[in-house]
Structure 1
Amino acid sequence: MNKPVYLTAEALDRLKNELHTARTTGRHDIAEAIAEARAQGDLSENAEYDAAKEAQGHLEARIAKLEETMANARIVDESSVDTSKARILSKVKVRNKKAKREMVYTLVSAEEADLKEQKISVDSPIGKALLGKALGDTVRVKVPAGFVELEIVDISR
């Protein structure tokens, strides 16, 4: 059994739209590219044909991933998120004990993760370490540069 994927309603809508586009426009565009490449003759040495077939494989893999994600999706209502502990959709303010710097992360599913928006996956090393922790807890996380200690200074929605 696959594990559930927790998403906001907005994220699920984005995935549905991406899936619809991939199934319709994406497949149509690739079919045209393959037909165009075929029309050029010998397929054994046709780089355009190979590229189009490879793109088709990538698209079909993405479609399969989207379908799997949506089949396992569980919608999380942000207004019902308990702020006593860090959970999915919690905004967690942490202080790096060594650098004395504060950061705010929103814990989200891997499908919604976007570091530019300070959304980190609950499956990432920092996300895993913060999940289930309470205000005042300190976590030690292995990062590429070694270990970092983060103190939880605030949890909100």
Structure 2
Amino acid sequence: MAGAKLSKSALERLQAEFHDLTTRGRIEVADKIERAREEGDLKENAGYHAAKDEQGHMEGRIRQLEYLIDEPEIVENQVYAIVYDGDSDDMAERYMIGNMEEQIEGADVITSTSPLGAALNGSSAGDLITYDAPNGSMTVKVLSVDSV
């Protein structure tokens, strides 16, 4: 089973988070649960229930990370600078099409299945693209496409 499509930097960040959660994170939550148990009656122990909730959320994130980093496909992401029809070039917005786990300074991440992401995917600088957005048809001009 192949994992997610990720940039090298995102993969490294997610691997570090996975390592942190499966070592330090689990130890800290186990300590919180143990301290809360020592307070007595577990039925009405808010600290115990909060620690168990935290443990559940953390284990869910660990499972999500396991999927993402298991045999990932390393990709080179594209950042698209675009302007909406009628806007000037100094109003450009930057979008990277990729996994929502990606992070890049100065650009919003959108998926390839979103209306704008699907429309931009494979476009080049200078292209005019019209796509169906939730609030109607939109047209954008691609100012530049940069690999990151």
**Could you say what secondary structure the match of 2:142 adopts?**
strand
TM-score normalised by length of structure 1: 0.78
Deviation at 1:149, TM superposition (A): 2.0
State the match for 1:17 in structure 2. Answer: 16
- Percent identity between matched residues is 32
Q: Does 2:82 match 1:94?
A: yes
Residue of structure 2 aligned with 1:137, choices 116, 121, 128? 128
Stretches of structure 2 that go unaligned for 5 or more consecutive residues are none
- Describe how 1:8-87 pairs up with structure 2 within 5 A: 8-76=7-75, 78=76
> What is the aligned counterpart of 2:111 among 122, 127, 134?
122
Distance (whole Å) between structure 2 residues aligned to residue 149 and residue 62 of structure 1: 37
Structure 1 position 113, deviation (Å): 4.3
Q: TM-score, normalised by structure 2?
A: 0.83
Number of aligned residue pairs:
143
Alpha-carbon deviation of 1:153?
2.7
Structure 1: 5+ residue runs without aligned partners?
79-88
Q: Which residue does 1:109 correspond to in 2?
A: 99
Deviations 1:96-146 (A, max 9, x none): 1033432232323211046x6314132444223211234413132425x65
8 A Cα contact 2:95 2:110, kept in partner? no
Aligned to 1:117, the other structure's residue is in SS state coil
Over aligned residue pairs, what C-alpha RMSD do you find?
A: 2.2
Residues 121/73 of structure 1: CA separation in 2 closer, same or farther (3 Å cut)? farther
Q: CA offsets, 1:61-117, max 9 Å, x none? A: 0000000001151112x4xxxxxxxxxx11212121033432232323211046x63
